[in-house]
Structure 1
Amino acid sequence: MKGKPLFPFAITALVGILLTVALSFWAMDQRTQMHSDEEPEEVTEFEDPIVAGEELYTQSCIACHGADLSGTSAPALNALEGKYTAEEIVNIIHTGPGTMPAFDHLNDVEADAIAQYLLSQSE
Protein backbone atom coordinates (compact mmCIF):
# COMPACT_ATOMS: atom_id res chain seq x y z
CA MET A 1 0.00 0.00 0.00
CA LYS A 2 1.35 3.32 -1.02
CA GLY A 3 1.08 6.42 1.26
CA LYS A 4 -0.36 9.76 0.26
CA PRO A 5 2.04 12.03 -1.56
CA LEU A 6 3.67 14.61 0.70
CA PHE A 7 4.01 17.26 -2.02
CA PRO A 8 0.45 18.79 -1.80
CA PHE A 9 0.70 19.07 1.99
CA ALA A 10 4.12 20.74 1.80
CA ILE A 11 2.81 23.27 -0.75
CA THR A 12 -0.19 24.07 1.48
CA ALA A 13 2.07 24.56 4.53
CA LEU A 14 4.48 26.76 2.58
CA VAL A 15 1.64 28.93 1.24
CA GLY A 16 0.26 29.27 4.78
CA ILE A 17 3.64 30.32 6.20
CA LEU A 18 4.26 32.84 3.40
CA LEU A 19 0.77 34.27 3.83
CA THR A 20 1.31 34.66 7.59
CA VAL A 21 4.63 36.45 7.07
CA ALA A 22 3.17 38.73 4.38
CA LEU A 23 0.17 39.66 6.56
CA SER A 24 2.48 40.37 9.51
CA PHE A 25 4.52 42.82 7.46
CA TRP A 26 1.36 44.43 6.12
CA ALA A 27 -0.02 44.86 9.66
CA MET A 28 3.25 46.38 10.91
CA ASP A 29 3.16 48.85 8.02
CA GLN A 30 -0.45 49.75 8.83
CA ARG A 31 0.44 50.32 12.48
CA THR A 32 3.38 52.54 11.52
CA GLN A 33 1.19 54.60 9.19
CA MET A 34 -1.50 54.91 11.84
CA HIS A 35 0.96 56.22 14.43
CA SER A 36 2.72 58.54 12.02
CA ASP A 37 -0.59 60.24 11.17
CA GLU A 38 -1.12 61.19 14.81
CA GLU A 39 0.54 64.35 15.98
CA PRO A 40 0.97 64.44 19.73
CA GLU A 41 -1.01 67.17 21.36
CA GLU A 42 1.44 69.66 22.83
CA VAL A 43 0.27 70.89 26.21
CA THR A 44 1.37 74.41 27.00
CA GLU A 45 -0.36 74.87 30.37
CA PHE A 46 -3.07 73.40 32.56
CA GLU A 47 -5.96 75.27 34.10
CA ASP A 48 -5.36 73.37 37.35
CA PRO A 49 -1.91 71.74 37.33
CA ILE A 50 -2.55 69.78 40.54
CA VAL A 51 -5.64 68.07 39.11
CA ALA A 52 -3.81 67.42 35.83
CA GLY A 53 -0.79 66.17 37.78
CA GLU A 54 -2.94 63.71 39.69
CA GLU A 55 -4.34 62.34 36.43
CA LEU A 56 -0.87 62.08 34.88
CA TYR A 57 0.45 60.44 38.06
CA THR A 58 -2.34 57.87 37.82
CA GLN A 59 -1.41 57.14 34.20
CA SER A 60 2.36 56.97 34.61
CA CYS A 61 3.49 56.54 38.21
CA ILE A 62 0.87 54.73 40.28
CA ALA A 63 2.04 51.22 39.40
CA CYS A 64 5.37 51.65 41.16
CA HIS A 65 4.73 54.46 43.67
CA GLY A 66 1.24 53.40 44.75
CA ALA A 67 -2.17 55.05 44.80
CA ASP A 68 -1.48 56.60 48.21
CA LEU A 69 2.11 57.63 47.27
CA SER A 70 3.48 55.27 49.93
CA GLY A 71 5.54 53.33 47.40
CA THR A 72 5.14 49.72 46.35
CA SER A 73 8.18 48.70 44.32
CA ALA A 74 9.56 52.25 44.30
CA PRO A 75 10.19 54.92 46.96
CA ALA A 76 7.37 56.68 48.74
CA LEU A 77 6.45 60.10 47.36
CA ASN A 78 4.23 61.33 50.18
CA ALA A 79 6.80 63.56 51.91
CA LEU A 80 8.66 65.50 49.23
CA GLU A 81 7.98 69.02 50.52
CA GLY A 82 11.33 70.54 51.55
CA LYS A 83 13.21 67.53 50.18
CA TYR A 84 12.90 68.35 46.47
CA THR A 85 11.90 71.38 44.44
CA ALA A 86 9.47 71.16 41.55
CA GLU A 87 12.40 71.57 39.13
CA GLU A 88 14.28 68.67 40.73
CA ILE A 89 11.20 66.45 40.50
CA VAL A 90 10.78 67.38 36.81
CA ASN A 91 14.42 66.42 36.24
CA ILE A 92 13.88 63.10 38.04
CA ILE A 93 10.80 62.38 35.89
CA HIS A 94 12.73 63.10 32.67
CA THR A 95 15.99 61.32 33.55
CA GLY A 96 14.75 58.38 35.59
CA PRO A 97 17.52 57.85 38.13
CA GLY A 98 18.42 54.36 39.32
CA THR A 99 15.95 51.71 38.19
CA MET A 100 13.21 54.24 37.42
CA PRO A 101 12.62 54.58 33.68
CA ALA A 102 12.89 58.02 32.11
CA PHE A 103 9.47 59.42 31.25
CA ASP A 104 10.69 61.49 28.32
CA HIS A 105 7.29 61.22 26.62
CA LEU A 106 6.03 63.76 29.16
CA ASN A 107 6.80 67.36 28.26
CA ASP A 108 7.97 69.91 30.84
CA VAL A 109 4.45 71.19 31.52
CA GLU A 110 3.14 67.66 32.19
CA ALA A 111 6.14 66.75 34.36
CA ASP A 112 5.73 70.01 36.28
CA ALA A 113 2.04 69.21 36.86
CA ILE A 114 3.06 65.87 38.39
CA ALA A 115 5.65 67.67 40.53
CA GLN A 116 3.04 70.19 41.73
CA TYR A 117 0.66 67.35 42.58
CA LEU A 118 3.34 65.45 44.50
CA LEU A 119 4.40 68.54 46.45
CA SER A 120 0.77 69.28 47.30
CA GLN A 121 0.41 65.80 48.79
CA SER A 122 3.22 66.09 51.31
CA GLU A 123 2.31 65.18 54.86
Structure 2
Amino acid sequence: MGKSSMYIASTILFLAIVVGFTYWLSTTEEHAGSEGSHGEQTEDSAGGEAEKIFSQNCASCHGENLGGGAGPALEAVGGKYSKDEILGIIKNGKGGGMPAGVIQGKEAEMVAKWLSEKK
Protein backbone atom coordinates (compact mmCIF):
# COMPACT_ATOMS: atom_id res chain seq x y z
CA MET A 1 0.00 0.00 0.00
CA GLY A 2 1.39 3.41 -0.96
CA LYS A 3 1.48 6.52 1.20
CA SER A 4 -1.53 7.94 -0.64
CA SER A 5 -3.65 4.82 -0.01
CA MET A 6 -2.59 4.76 3.64
CA TYR A 7 -3.58 8.42 4.01
CA ILE A 8 -7.00 7.81 2.43
CA ALA A 9 -7.63 4.71 4.56
CA SER A 10 -6.67 6.48 7.79
CA THR A 11 -8.81 9.51 6.85
CA ILE A 12 -11.83 7.27 6.20
CA LEU A 13 -11.27 5.47 9.50
CA PHE A 14 -10.96 8.77 11.35
CA LEU A 15 -14.18 10.09 9.78
CA ALA A 16 -16.02 6.87 10.63
CA ILE A 17 -14.94 7.21 14.26
CA VAL A 18 -16.01 10.87 14.37
CA VAL A 19 -19.42 10.08 12.82
CA GLY A 20 -19.94 7.13 15.17
CA PHE A 21 -18.99 9.16 18.22
CA THR A 22 -21.25 12.03 17.13
CA TYR A 23 -24.17 9.63 16.69
CA TRP A 24 -23.52 8.03 20.08
CA LEU A 25 -23.28 11.43 21.74
CA SER A 26 -26.55 12.64 20.20
CA THR A 27 -28.47 9.54 21.33
CA THR A 28 -26.97 9.85 24.81
CA GLU A 29 -28.09 13.50 25.03
CA GLU A 30 -31.62 12.59 23.86
CA HIS A 31 -31.80 9.88 26.52
CA ALA A 32 -30.47 12.21 29.20
CA GLY A 33 -33.07 14.81 28.21
CA SER A 34 -35.88 12.43 29.19
CA GLU A 35 -34.44 11.78 32.64
CA GLY A 36 -33.55 13.95 35.58
CA SER A 37 -30.00 14.84 36.54
CA HIS A 38 -29.44 11.53 38.34
CA GLY A 39 -31.17 9.18 35.90
CA GLU A 40 -34.56 9.80 37.50
CA GLN A 41 -37.69 10.26 35.46
CA THR A 42 -38.96 13.78 34.91
CA GLU A 43 -42.56 14.73 35.62
CA ASP A 44 -43.49 14.45 31.92
CA SER A 45 -41.93 11.05 31.40
CA ALA A 46 -43.40 9.76 34.68
CA GLY A 47 -46.85 10.95 33.60
CA GLY A 48 -46.42 9.29 30.24
CA GLU A 49 -45.32 6.07 31.91
CA ALA A 50 -48.29 6.21 34.31
CA GLU A 51 -50.64 6.72 31.38
CA LYS A 52 -49.09 3.72 29.61
CA ILE A 53 -49.49 1.55 32.72
CA PHE A 54 -53.10 2.69 33.06
CA SER A 55 -53.75 1.92 29.40
CA GLN A 56 -52.33 -1.60 29.74
CA ASN A 57 -54.01 -2.50 33.04
CA CYS A 58 -57.00 -0.28 33.76
CA ALA A 59 -58.43 1.13 30.55
CA SER A 60 -60.39 -2.03 29.73
CA CYS A 61 -62.74 -1.15 32.64
CA HIS A 62 -62.26 2.60 33.11
CA GLY A 63 -62.01 3.57 29.43
CA GLU A 64 -59.00 4.59 27.38
CA ASN A 65 -59.88 8.27 27.94
CA LEU A 66 -60.91 7.77 31.59
CA GLY A 67 -64.56 8.00 30.52
CA GLY A 68 -65.66 4.80 32.25
CA GLY A 69 -67.12 1.53 31.06
CA ALA A 70 -67.41 -1.52 33.27
CA GLY A 71 -65.72 0.64 35.94
CA PRO A 72 -66.48 4.25 36.84
CA ALA A 73 -65.20 7.25 34.92
CA LEU A 74 -61.96 8.64 36.34
CA GLU A 75 -61.80 11.93 34.41
CA ALA A 76 -62.08 13.98 37.62
CA VAL A 77 -61.15 11.36 40.23
CA GLY A 78 -58.48 13.64 41.72
CA GLY A 79 -61.24 16.04 42.77
CA LYS A 80 -62.83 13.29 44.85
CA TYR A 81 -59.85 11.30 46.16
CA SER A 82 -56.28 12.17 47.18
CA LYS A 83 -53.26 10.35 45.80
CA ASP A 84 -53.07 8.20 48.94
CA GLU A 85 -56.78 7.33 48.75
CA ILE A 86 -56.44 6.37 45.08
CA LEU A 87 -53.38 4.28 45.93
CA GLY A 88 -55.39 2.54 48.66
CA ILE A 89 -58.14 1.70 46.15
CA ILE A 90 -55.57 0.36 43.68
CA LYS A 91 -53.91 -1.76 46.38
CA ASN A 92 -57.03 -2.99 48.21
CA GLY A 93 -59.77 -2.84 45.59
CA LYS A 94 -63.17 -1.25 46.13
CA GLY A 95 -66.63 -2.71 46.32
CA GLY A 96 -67.24 -5.85 44.35
CA GLY A 97 -66.01 -4.57 41.01
CA MET A 98 -62.52 -3.17 41.58
CA PRO A 99 -60.07 -6.03 42.25
CA ALA A 100 -57.11 -5.49 44.56
CA GLY A 101 -53.57 -5.29 43.26
CA VAL A 102 -54.19 -4.93 39.52
CA ILE A 103 -50.98 -2.89 39.54
CA GLN A 104 -48.48 -2.86 42.37
CA GLY A 105 -45.45 -1.12 43.79
CA LYS A 106 -43.92 1.83 42.02
CA GLU A 107 -46.32 1.47 39.09
CA ALA A 108 -49.34 1.75 41.42
CA GLU A 109 -47.83 4.87 43.00
CA MET A 110 -47.20 6.45 39.60
CA VAL A 111 -50.76 5.78 38.43
CA ALA A 112 -52.23 7.03 41.73
CA LYS A 113 -50.26 10.28 41.44
CA TRP A 114 -51.28 10.70 37.78
CA LEU A 115 -54.95 10.05 38.54
CA SER A 116 -54.89 12.39 41.56
CA GLU A 117 -54.04 15.20 39.14
CA LYS A 118 -57.28 14.57 37.17
CA LYS A 119 -59.65 17.19 38.56
Tell me the TM-score normalised to structure 1 length: 0.56
Q: Percent identity at matched positions?
A: 37
Q: Does 1:100 align with 2:94?
A: no
Higher relative contact order (CA 8 A, sep 6+): 1
* Cα pair 1:50 1:120 within 8 Å, conserved: no
- Paired with 1:117 and 1:72, the residues of 2 have a C-alpha distance of 19
Deviation at 1:105, TM superposition (A): 5.0
SS at match of 1:121: coil
Task: Give the Å deviation of 1:103.
Answer: 1.7
1:58 aligns with 2:26: no
Q: Answer yes or no: is the 8 Å Cα contact 2:57–2:103 preserved in 1.
A: no
Gaps of 5+ in 1: 1-45
Q: Which residue of 2 aligns with 1:70?
A: 67
Deviation at 1:104, TM superposition (A): 5.6
**Structure number with higher helix proportion:** 2
Give the length in aligned residue pairs.
76
- Displacement of 1:54: 0.4
- In structure 2, the partner of 1:87 is 84
Q: What RMSD, in angstroms, separates the aligned Cα atoms of the two structures?
A: 1.7
- 1:81 deviates by 2.4
Ranges in structure 2 where 5+ consecutive residues have no aligned partner: 1-39
* Match of residue 4 from structure 1: none
* Distance (Å, rounded) in 2 between the aligned partners of 1:105 and 1:92: 11
Partner of 2:114: 117
Alpha-carbon distance in 2 for matches of 1:60, 1:110: 11
